[in-house]
Structure 1
């Protein structure tokens, strides 16, 4: 599994999205592919990979309200959390 760090900036905190970064970018599928994310409490969120928003084609994943609330209830702005990519369509937040 490939581990990556997520910095909780304004976009992650307020909009419920992440940009995993180029270190794990190749672990994800193509634009529009599904991705399932397991939160620390076991909840699984379904989303899709967006490769059109970032100019370099890097992955951006929008999770929405449930992810945003999880982040806001468990972290502060400017915190970090770790996640892993066990396969091309899954993320596990540690």
Structure 2
């Protein structure tokens, strides 16, 4: 999960919010993440954190989220393997 270490200083204007919502909804649907789930909350937090860190281009946000979700998925797979090995 992305964690902000400073308060969000970025101002999200209506067009920014539309973009962030579109990215969130697209990725949530593609990954099969259920609305209201912990994974959906993590995803929304990650989207906002990336924006707060200065990413405002859709392609950049999507690329960073894909990398984040891939790492998170790999970590979860590794934990499952470790548990099954015991």
Give the TM-score normalised by structure 1: 0.30
Structure number with higher relative contact order (C-alpha < 8 Å, ≥ 6 residues apart): 1
Give the TM-score normalised by structure 2: 0.31
Q: Which has the higher helix share?
A: 2
Q: Which has the higher strand share?
A: 1
Larger Rg over CA atoms: 2
